[in-house]
């Protein structure tokens, strides 16, 4: 056993952990980041980055096969999909980014150690973190420990993941062939993003959602646009349908689901289970040192990411809230500054979220329902991409921008975008809400033409009855 000392130990190197390690190093805090698998965590290796690579590849193929002809681009022979080559291309992107994480940590003076970490005990000299790897053990003693252990997919009864017939998001990102029939259990953002990929590549996709809506909790008008596009792609969405069991029939799997009209069976080559994620808070010694968890296993923290145990912090998915990479990264910077003795706290008015379906959905701030419940009288403006020159010129006019403002003060409360480029437009809205902008601020800001963000300006104007390129209502 070897022993070492540090000022801080970060357990996990995902978009929370590695960012925390880099920032701590920049602030002169001697830090060790512990990772049991690959630098970059779920996001870089089996989540955000590889999924967006496949989404882009599928979108490119879809445009070639479905809509290129409308623009006069004629594909004279049918295009085909080489999944192995696509996976290799995706893997190259992941490799570049993960190697970049290693270099950035090194440049910041932060040490990266591989192994499984467990907090063994606390003491007057600091917390003792044991790291086991390949039969060897080292103990790191540090005053500060940051939990950045992330989350993993929830497994439902009767659908144990074998990455053969029954796969999770990790398995779905690693398929070397396009399944003829894919059943997706769960109509949340991960299930729909991956389901859309394989629908575009040729799979017959069926989505089973136990609730009465896909993308539950998001703006209902945005959800309608996504649902319409899914139907156009031939994706069957069964709402109020709960997956009960499945059987292997040699050449196929047969899924049984309980729906509104009784049980139904669906043939599938693969079954993707995507019903949410749970925190990685077990088996890391939190019970030994008394770190408080909530009823779902998330670590309880305050606005400085402190747990109830002095010197132990938690960030990212394991700390609950919105399970988003950019939220984890922001928390990472905050906690690094807290540890370094700076005045810092999570003080945000809004955290934007993006769903990379087709069309994309991007949201920040309140929905109409939330704003009304909060006591606001509303002014709502919508501008459709169908009326936007740039959207027409790229042959992608599904969707709209919706802005929600307070009718009395004009304060911008929420922005909801569904359509091509939504992910690239939402940051403007998040900045506006953070700065306390009013509707007129968006309206009076000159937006370049022809661009998609012009719809943001027009929607704000529409909320005030002053839109130029649509009839005001």
Render pLDDT for 70-97 as a digit per residue (tens, 0 to 9).
Answer: 999 998 888 999 999 999 999 999 999 9
Query: What is the residue whose two structure tokens read 């192995």?
Result: 84
Q: 54: closest CA among 185, 201, 271?
A: 201
Higher-confidence position of 302 and 123: 302
Residue 149 CA to residue 133 CA, distance in Å, equals 17
Q: How would you write the chain as a 3-class SS string?
A: CEEEEEEEEEECCCCCHHHHHHHHHHCCCCEEEEECCCCCHHHHHHCHHHHHHHHHHHHHHHHHHHHHHHHCCCCCCCCCCCHHHHHHHHHHHHHHHHHHHHHHHHHCCCEEEECEEEEEECCCCCEEEEEEECCEEEEEEEEEEEECCCEEECCCCCCCCCCCCEECHHHHCCCCCCCCEEEEECCCHHHHHHHHHHHHHCCEEEEEECCCCCCCCCCHHHHHHHHHHHHHCCCEEEECCEEEEEEECCCCEEEEEEECCEEEEEEECEEEECCCEEECCCCCCHHHHCCCECCCCCECCCCCCECCCCCEEECHHHHCCCCCHHHHHHHHHHHHHHHCCCCCCCCCCCCCEEECCCCCEEEEECCHHHHHHCCCCEEEEEEEHHHCHHHHHCCCCCEEEEEEEECCCCEEEEEEEEECCHHHHHHHHHHHHHCCCEHHHHHHCCCCCCCCCHHHHHHHHHHCCCCCCCCCC
> Does residue 162 surpass a pLDDT of 80?
yes
> Does residue 250 surpass a pLDDT of 90?
no
- In whole angstroms, how far apart are CA 223 and each of 64, 170, 311? 26, 25, 43
**What is the tens place of the pLDDT at every residue in 379-394?**
999 999 999 999 999 9
The values of phi and psi at residue 240, to 5°, are: 65, 30
pLDDT computed for residue 67 by the predictor: 87
Token digits of residue 156: 């439902």
**What is the tens place of the pLDDT at every residue in 53-62?**
999 999 999 9
Cis peptide before 283 (omega within 30 of 0): no
pLDDT computed for residue 32 by the predictor: 98
312 Cα distance to chain centroid: 26
pLDDT computed for residue 314 by the predictor: 98
> Does residue 63 surpass a pLDDT of 80?
yes
The dihedral formed by the CA atoms of 307, 308, 309 and 315, expressed in degrees to the nearest 10: -10
pLDDT computed for residue 260 by the predictor: 87
Token digits of residue 59: 């979108």
pLDDT computed for residue 368 by the predictor: 97
**What is the tens place of the pLDDT at every residue in 256-308?**
999 988 999 999 999 999 999 999 999 999 999 999 999 999 999 999 999 99
pLDDT computed for residue 134 by the predictor: 85
Full set of structural domains in the chain with CATH:
2-62+71-152+278-339 (3.50.50.60), 166-275 (3.50.50.60), 353-463 (3.30.390.30)
Banded model confidence at residue 2, pLDDT cuts 50, 70, 90: confident
pLDDT computed for residue 131 by the predictor: 97
> Does residue 42 surpass a pLDDT of 90?
yes
Banded model confidence at residue 400, pLDDT cuts 50, 70, 90: very high
**What is the tens place of the pLDDT at every residue in 335-382?**
999 999 999 999 999 999 999 999 999 999 999 999 999 999 999 999
Residue 448 CA to residue 390 CA, distance in Å, equals 11
> Does residue 124 surpass a pLDDT of 90?
no
> Does residue 122 surpass a pLDDT of 80?
no
> Does residue 123 surpass a pLDDT of 80?
no
How does the average pLDDT of the chain come out, rounded? Answer: 97
Active site residue 326: no
Percent of the chain with pLDDT over 90: 95
pLDDT computed for residue 366 by the predictor: 98
The dihedral formed by the CA atoms of 380, 386, 390 and 391, expressed in degrees to the nearest 10: 100
Banded model confidence at residue 240, pLDDT cuts 50, 70, 90: very high
Question: What's the whole-model pTM score?
Answer: 0.96
Of the listed ranges 138-142, 257-261, 430-434, 445-449, the one predicted with least confidence: 257-261
Percent of the chain with pLDDT over 70: 100
pLDDT computed for residue 120 by the predictor: 93
The values of phi and psi at residue 378, to 5°, are: -110, 150
């Amino acid at each position: 056993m070897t022993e070492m000392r540090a000022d801080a130990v970060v357990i996990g190197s995902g978009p929370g952990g590695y960012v925390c390690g880099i920032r701590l190093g920049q602030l002169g805090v001697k830090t060790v980041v512990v990772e049991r698998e690959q630098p970059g965590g779920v996001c870089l290796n089996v989540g955000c980055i590889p999924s967006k690579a496949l989404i882009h590849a599928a979108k490119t193929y879809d445009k070639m096969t479905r809509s290129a002809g409308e623009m006069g681009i004629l594909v004279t022979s049918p295009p085909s999909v080489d999944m192995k080559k696509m996976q290799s291309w995706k893997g190259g992107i992941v490799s570049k980014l993960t190697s970049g994480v290693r270099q950035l940590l090194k440049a910041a003076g932060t040490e990266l150690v591989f192994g499984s970490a467990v907090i063994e005990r606390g003491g007057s000299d600091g917390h003792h973190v044991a790291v086991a790897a390949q039969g060897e053990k080292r103990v790191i003693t540090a005053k500060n420990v940051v939990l950045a252990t992330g989350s993993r997919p929830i497994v439902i009864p009767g659908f144990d993941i074998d990455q053969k017939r029954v796969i999770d998001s990790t398995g779905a990102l690693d398929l070397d062939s396009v399944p003829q029939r894919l059943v997706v259990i769960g109509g949340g953002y991960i299930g729909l993003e991956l389901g859309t990929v394989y629908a575009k590549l040729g799979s017959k996709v069926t989505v089973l959602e136990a609730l009465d809506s896909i993308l539950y909790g998001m703006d209902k008008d945005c959800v309608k646009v996504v649902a319409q596009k899914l139907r156009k792609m031939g994706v069957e969405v069964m709402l109020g349908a709960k997956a009960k069991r499945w059987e292997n029939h040699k050449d196929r799997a047969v899924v049984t689901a309980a729906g509104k009209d009784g049980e139904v069976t669906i043939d599938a080559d693969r079954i993707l289970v995507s019903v949410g994620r749970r925190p990685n808070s077990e088996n890391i010694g939190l019970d030994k040192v008394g770190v408080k968890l909530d009823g779902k296993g998330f670590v309880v923290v305050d606005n400085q990411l402190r747990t109830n145990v002095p010197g132990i912090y938690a960030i990212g998915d394991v700390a609950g809230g919105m399970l988003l990479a950019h939220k984890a990264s922001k928390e990472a910077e905050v906690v690094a500054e807290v540890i370094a003795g700076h005045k810092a706290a999570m003080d945000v008015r809004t955290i934007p979220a993006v769903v990379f379906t087709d069309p994309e959905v991007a949201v920040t701030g309140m929905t109409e329902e939330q704003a009304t419940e909060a006591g606001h009288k509303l002014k709502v403006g919508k501008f459709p991409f169908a009326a936007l020159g740039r959207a027409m010129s790229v042959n992608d006019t599904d969707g709209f921008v919706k802005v929600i403002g307070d009718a009395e003060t004009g304060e911008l409360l929420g922005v909801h975008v569904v359509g091509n480029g939504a992910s690239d437009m939402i940051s403007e809205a998040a900045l506006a809400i953070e700065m306390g902008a009013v509707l007129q601020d968006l309206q009076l800001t000159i937006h370049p033409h022809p661009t998609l963000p012009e719809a943001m300006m027009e929607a704000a104007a529409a909320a005030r009855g002053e839109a130029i390129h649509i009839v005001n209502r």
